[in-house]
Amino acid sequence: MSEDIASHQHAISAVLAAIDAGDLAAATNYLCDDVTVLFGSFEPLVGAAMFTQLFEQFTTSLQAVRHEIHDVWPAANDPHVLIATMTAHYTRADGRCVSLPCCNVFRMSRGLIAEYRVYMDIGPALAAQ
């Protein structure tokens, strides 16, 4: 594994761990200032501040989130694009746990996440309680 890919994998693990800890300020340390965030069918967002705003919206409806990473690998033709498969475990405000399959695609630039794409349906975690 190349040093860049290992460094990229570390950044991905670290940003997800920061999100899980509810430390969105720490999560933004792994993002480019002009990061593009695409989450499911939501409109694309640009900037670390918009990333924080998006995840703050989710966390107000949830008690906790935990990302269980299954695999992270580089795209075949671009070592700066990594694909992560995982299960996102959400504890809703009513205490009910919902686990959802998820695939994220990250484009890296200068060791930071420049593009953060989330492919999942978060609806069951946010459904009326």
**What is the reported pLDDT for 80?**
93
Residue type, 18: A
**What is the reported pLDDT for 93?**
86
* Mean of per-residue pLDDT scores for the chain: 91
**What is the reported pLDDT for 42?**
85
1-19 confidence digits (pLDDT tens): 566 888 889 999 999 999 9
In the block, residue with structure tokens 């349906």: 121
Q: Is a pLDDT exceeding 90 seen at residue 83? A: yes
| Topology classification of domain 3-122 | Nuclear Transport Factor 2; Chain: A, (3.10.450)
Alpha carbons 104 and 59: distance in angstroms, whole number: 19
Mean pLDDT throughout 66-95? Answer: 94
CB within 8 A of 9, min separation 6: which ones? 72, 82
**What is the reported pLDDT for 2?**
62
**What is the reported pLDDT for 129?**
57
Runs of H (alpha helix) within the chain: 3-20, 24-27, 48-60, 123-126
Q: What is the DSSP letter of 94?
A: T
**What is the reported pLDDT for 3?**
61
**Are 34 and 47 a contacting pair, CB within 8 Å?**
yes
pTM for the structure as a whole: 0.90
**What is the reported pLDDT for 58?**
75
Q: Which two tokens stand for residue 18?
A: 């920061």
Share of the chain above pLDDT 70, in %: 96
53-72 confidence digits (pLDDT tens): 888 887 777 889 999 999 99
